[in-house]
Amino acid sequence: MVKSAGRVFQILELVAERGTGCLHSEVAQKLSIPRASVTALLRDLVELGYLTFDDRTKRYALGPQILTLSNAYLRHLNIVQIGEPILREIFREVGEFTSLVIAKDTTVVKVCEYAPPDPHGYHLQVGEAGPMHATAGGKAILAHVDTALRERLLARLDFRVYTARTIRTKAALVKELKSIRGGEPAYCREEYLEGMISMAVPVFDADDRPVAAIGVNTRAARFNRAYERKVDRVLRSAQARLSARLGNRRHFGRELADAA
């Protein structure tokens, strides 16, 4: 990377991290850039609209041109297009039904999938919807939406019974959602389809909202502790990568760590 270009990105990232903006001296000291170079770079960024300068506080903050870029990026985001390569990698590693779902009211809709040639492995087809309370992807999303929305959705769930293992009460579901919010993956242990067990994790956007879930589904006969640990590791890595690509800063560091 050209040195000056790298410094521009470092400056923008530093200013973005500081909610109150940065002084000229803070930028130079934090990034170990000569003061003369900092002066020229800050001046150019202000002129281009990527930074603003407050004459009163002498601080630099992000400018409106940043919003132009971020809005253009978000407008053209296609979660299926971005997520499909990641799903393909998961499928290659675990060899089981791998899917991406999004929320639609009190259901989740499958929008992308990789599936093995298993005639006995029943699952939702792309475009089909499944209930939030009885699917791993649904629970993963429901657990991480804001409290007000979660309460509205819980009040509208019909808790339809699909198998003998389906969760039937709000209290039981709330208990499970609490564990998921605490960091556990979401599970569907033969709650929607007999003989099938799923694990899923949420995917977060730039505003830290759970906009989708990535899941792996297998026959119960193949589900064991070693498989569970492997799928958990693979899903966490995929979660970090896809969330980071959707602009989620909380997962950006994890994506770089996984790539290293």
Indicate whether 5 pLDDT > 50. Answer: yes
**pLDDT at position 70, please?**
66
Question: Is-contact 105 134, C-beta < 8 A?
Answer: no
Instruction: For residue 58, give the nearest of 24, 28, 18, 11 by alpha carbon.
Output: 24
- In order of their start, the domains of the chain are 3-74 (1.10.10.10), 77-259 (3.30.450.40)
- The pair of three-digit structure tokens given for residue 37, joined into one six-digit string: 């170079």
Beta-carbon contacts of 198 under 8 Å, excluding residues fewer than 6 positions away, are 135, 136, 137, 187, 188, 215, 216, 217, 218
User: Are the C-beta atoms of residues 4 and 36 closer than 8 Å to each other?
Assistant: no
Which regions of the chain does DSSP assign to beta strands (E)? 22-23, 51-54, 59-62, 97-104, 107-114, 129-131, 186-189, 196-204, 210-219
Whether 2 has a pLDDT exceeding 70, the answer reads no
The answer to whether 89 touches 238, Cβ cutoff 8 Å, is: yes
Q: What is the pLDDT of residue 238?
A: 96
State the pLDDT at residue 72. 62
What global pTM score does this model have? 0.69
Provide the pLDDT confidence category of residue 59 given band limits of 50, 70 and 90.
very high
Q: Copy the structure tokens of residue 188.
A: 């569907």
> What pLDDT, on the 0 to 100 scale, is given for residue 86?
95
**Average pLDDT value for residue range 248-260:** 61
Whole-angstrom CA distances from 157 to 74, 154, 185, 201 are: 31, 5, 21, 21
- The number of residues making up the chain comes to 260
Residue 256 is predicted with a pLDDT of: 46
The pair phi, psi for residue 59, each rounded to 5°, is -110, 150
Contact at 8 Å (CB) between 114 and 94?
Answer: no
* Element spanning 199, H or E: strand 196-204
Q: What is the pLDDT of residues 146-194, one digit of tens each?
A: 999 999 999 999 999 999 999 999 999 999 999 999 999 999 999 999 9
